[in-house]
Amino acid sequence: MLSTTDRRIRSVALPAIATNVTVPLLGLADTAITGHLGAAAYIGAVAVGGMAFNMMYWLLGFLRMATSGLTAQAHGSGNTAMADAVRWQAGSYGLLAGMAIVVLQWPLLALIRFFFAPQGEVDTYATTYFLILVWGAPAVLATNSLCGWFLGMQDARSPMLAAVVQNVVNIALSLLFVIGFGMKIEGVAAGTLLAQWTGLGVAVWRYRSRYARRAPLLRLRIRGDGRFFSVSRDIFLRTLCLVAVMSWFTRTGTAFGEVTLAANTVLMQFFIITSYVFDGLANAAEAIGGSLFGARDAAGLKTLLRRLFVICAVAAAGFTLCFAIGGAPFIDLLTDRPEVREAARRFLPYLVGVPAACFTAFLLDGLFIGCTRTRAMLLSVAASALLFFVLLWWLSPTLGNHALWTAYLAYLFLRGCILLAATPALLREASAS
């Protein structure tokens, strides 16, 4: 029989995992549809445009994470007014940031074209895709803020429902516009745009059906709790470190040749699979841990942490076993190029070690976000990123791509170790009155 803690974990983690799985489906659906438009340039355009938006929204991810942590603590302490104030502040910033992206779309487009340097038809189609989809920025950022608030309120089903409906609408409308109306890249972009606003509509509907009695959904609130700014700043800087590591990982793989780059891309799918599960468990640590921290329930927080560590360790062991046994067949499923298969198999042992190296970092990231102790998170990622670059500089001249994976595993492992060392202080703080 499940304990109360296990039931709380399940109620948040399972919908969060389901939501995480749906996230890449928007880009996947666009790629699949453009793949049948008759020209490879369409796929390249979606890849460039999609990466540009993903980067912007990732850098603005603090709108969701800061909101969920502060809301969870307000919820745990029974401070309804504070929870509402956080939602108003986050919603205001989300809408304003989205509108700023719309207003600055031409300078942003110029920056994107300079950075990605698309050529010929890819440039033309990517520009069309961007100029249509940019009008969804206010919807995306407002949805992210509201879904962060839902998670802080221990409601993981509402974000899941919004994500599922958004993906269904995206696929249906894109197919309708492209196949039914004969549109090209503009049909794919229009379908995704309308789906983004539909996702916001579903999130607003969920709020009105469940929480409307407590307070209006939105009031323009620029001033508010100063913690929102400090937490958001730390998360933003942390995200910059993450982006730096992942960008340099790809850049270094490119320098090793197209076969190595392709093999690394295939192997990264293993990491993405594990992230779906570990992110869902991290969301449980974020929502439930933040609530317990706000209630100053140190005993409950320790129980939650122990249970999540056991679950994550079991999941990591399962992934390790699956990758060790089924890694080679999975590689063959993802590519039919013999040289890429051979290269991917050569570096597969590193991926077998990824689950054990990363689960502590994922889990404790969620806990520290929920408790809004984001300075420790920033320091852990900054120190780990420094280790990554130092190891890569030191080892790559002799070890090549082995150095890249060694540095990346060390980066993941050190992040978890630093946060683990900071956890006792966080638990002591939770017990303070």
Residues 6 or more apart whose CB falls under 8 angstroms from that of 134 comprise 101, 102, 105, 108
Backbone angles phi, psi at 182, to 5 degrees: 75, 20
Instruction: Give the per-residue pLDDT at 429.
Output: 87
Give the per-residue pLDDT at 32.
Answer: 65
Instruction: Report how far residue 65's alpha carbon sits from residue 284's, in angstroms, rounded to the nearest whole number.
Output: 13
Please report how the helices 62-77 and 258-294 are oriented relative to each other, as an axis angle in degrees rounded to 10: 20
Strands (E), 217-308: none
| Residue 266: C-alpha distances to residues 34, 350, 396 (Å) | 21, 13, 21
Q: What is the reported pLDDT for 263?
A: 81
CA distances to 5, 6, 38 from 1, in Å: 12, 9, 55
pLDDT in tens, the chain (433 residues): 567 777 888 888 888 888 777 766 666 566 667 766 666 677 667 767 777 888 888 888 888 888 888 888 888 888 888 888 888 888 888 889 999 999 999 999 998 888 777 777 778 888 898 999 999 999 999 999 999 999 888 888 999 999 889 988 988 998 899 888 888 888 888 998 999 999 999 999 998 888 877 666 556 555 555 678 888 899 999 999 998 898 888 778 777 877 787 788 778 878 888 888 898 899 989 989 988 998 888 888 999 999 999 999 999 999 999 999 988 888 887 677 788 888 889 999 998 999 999 999 999 999 999 998 999 999 999 999 999 999 999 998 899 899 999 999 999 999 999 999 999 999 888 876 4
Sign of CA dihedral 232, 233, 238, 242: positive
CA distance 160 to 78: 25
Amino acid at 295: A
Quote the CA–CA distance of 301 and 223 in Å, as a whole number: 31
Q: Please report, for residues 14, 22, 159, 203, the alpha-carbon distance to residue 163 in angstroms, rounded to integers and kept in the order given.
A: 14, 7, 6, 9
CA neighbor of 173 nearest in space, from 197, 190, 148: 190
For 265, left (φ over 0), alpha (ψ -120 to 50), or beta? alpha
Rounded Cα–Cα distance for residues 150 and 217 (Å): 12
> How high is the pLDDT of residue 182?
82
